[in-house]
Amino acid sequence: MSLRDSRSSRASTFLLVRMVAAIATAVVSLPGVAAAFGPPPGAELSVEKLQRIDDFFNGEIAAGKIPGAIVLIQRRGQPVYFKSFGKRNVDTGVPMTTDSIFPIHSVTKTITSVAAMMLVDRGKIALADPVSKYIPSFAAMKVAVERKDERGKPVLDLVPPGRPVTIEDLLLQTSGITYGFYGEGLAKSAYEGIYLGDFDNAEFAERIAKVPLTGQPRTLWDYGHSTDVLGRVIEVASGQSLYQFEKTQLLDPLGMTSTKFFLTDPAERARYAWPLPKDRHVERNSLDVTRWESGGGGMVSTITDFARYAQMLLNGGTLEGKTYLSPATFAAMTTDHIGPGSGVERNYFYFPGDGFGFGYGFGIRTDPGNAVPPPPGSPGEIKWDGATGVYLVIDRAQDMFFVLMENTPSERVRIQARLKKIIYDAFSK
């Protein structure tokens, strides 16, 4: 099933995920809860306690809830846990192997954001640039204001934005560009039909320019196609397709040879990790080769590729003597820009979740959050995940990252939360 044919099913999955997140965030904080959180400095990670991961995933597979998964935990530059579980394809019985290829969905956003910030480092784009500098049709965009007419019927007024949408807005998901497949309202409905036919990044950006913004720029964190538009900006600024720029400047230098938008090689297609039949209705099938290189959700990758990517991020933008992001740029990417005093609001669909702000493409842990006890993790944690459950967590305070590769849309929130708890419970107290 193609991406555009699966939007309604993805919408219901997205809403379920948001409900779980909202329940977790709604827990009222109690007096006397310490502001400090996370493992203490120098805490050791018990390899013995990490074996609980085996029991958890083997139990999930035996219960028929997930087909399989791969987990890598790396600390101080060395893997401390690396195992694959279950099947790559339950229909054929092929076991999960470490070269299995997974759709990473919205974790693609982090790669696109890194690529954009590389261009910022090189002076090719600037955070304050209006998007219309690269996509002229954005100069005519309007903001949707929904109201009721005299008969009580909802109508949509279109008003000018208070200021242009900028590159920084795209990176922060504060542009007013949304996803049309979740939530309600006439502005959301304007996205209907936006995925019809085959199109490239240039055409998709033009389609986005024709729908109204759902709010004034930099007033609401609203998850959507901002990063897809950013992908088009990268193309204009670099003179290359999004994939060619990322391949030559980031992916190949990092050794991420299996990270791409589409699988055309038969040997690679055979390594694709399939979800269980119950989840295939929400699957973006990267085996269907189209022209759209979705910078917001279109890539596939492997655990070994992501080990390289994650280590580069853990190192602060460098790997093996090569600098991908300058120290100042990396610091800007991993700083919360939408917290108190920023003027940015958060609604029910605030995806970063309890205790997290947002940087340029990543959720950033800023505080313990409202839940009691606080969710596990460390101050400054960098993270993101995708619709099929691929999960990337960078914990610089503990010189550690972990990556979960799975293709399990309906179980992903529960699996991610449980894995993270097991990992942080394995730290000495």
Q: DSSP per residue over 17-31, as a string?
A: HHHHHHHHHTSPP-T
Contact 232, 209 (CB under 8 A): no
Amino acid letter, residue 407: N
| pLDDT given for residue 29 in this prediction | 32
d(CA 374, CA 367): 9
Tokens (6 digits) for 203? 């055409």
Q: What confidence score (pLDDT) does residue 68 get?
A: 98
User: Where does residue 62 rank: exposed (0-12), middle (13-18), buried (19+ CB within 10 A)?
Assistant: exposed
pLDDT at 348: 87
Burial classification of residue 402, based on how many CB atoms lie within 10 Å of its CB (0-12 exposed, 13-18 middle, 19 or more buried): buried
Q: How many CA atoms does the CB half-sphere of 410 hold within 13 Å? A: 15
The Cα 86–Cα 99 span in angstroms is 14
The pLDDT, as a whole number, for residue 284 is: 53
CB-based contacts of 237-245 (< 8 A; 24+ apart in sequence): 237/119, 237/124, 237/125, 237/134, 238/119, 238/124, 241/201, 241/293, 242/112, 242/115, 242/201, 242/293, 242/295, 243/293, 245/115
Quote the tokens at residue 247.
């391949």
Question: Which tokens hold the place of 207?
Answer: 């389609």
Residues of the chain with pLDDT under 70: 1-35, 282-285, 429
Closest by Cα among 175, 96, 94, 85 to 129: 175
Any bridge partners for residue 7, and if so which?
none
Residues with Cβ within 8 Å of 276's Cβ and at least 6 positions away in sequence, in order, are 64, 66, 67, 90, 408
- The CATH number covering residue 196 comes to 3.40.710.10
What does the alpha-carbon distance between residue 332 and residue 121 come to, in Å, rounded to a whole number? 11
pLDDT of 428 reads 83
Q: Determine the straight-line distance between the first and last CA of the chain, rounded to whole angstroms.
A: 47
Give me the pLDDT at residue 28, please: 31
pTM comes to: 0.92
Q: What is the reported pLDDT for 282?
A: 61
Which domain covers residue 273, as residue numbers?
A: 4-425
- The alpha carbon of residue 50 and the mean position of all alpha carbons in its chain are separated, in whole angstroms, by 26
The 10s digit of each residue's pLDDT in 314-371 is: 999 999 999 999 999 999 999 999 999 999 999 889 999 999 999 999 999 999 999 8
Q: If you count them, how many residues does the chain have?
A: 429
* Count of domains forming the chain: 1
Alpha-carbon distance of 357 to 414, in angstroms, equals: 21
Q: What does the pLDDT look like over 262-292, one tens digit per residue?
A: 999 999 999 999 999 999 876 556 778 889 9
Across the chain, mean pLDDT equals 91
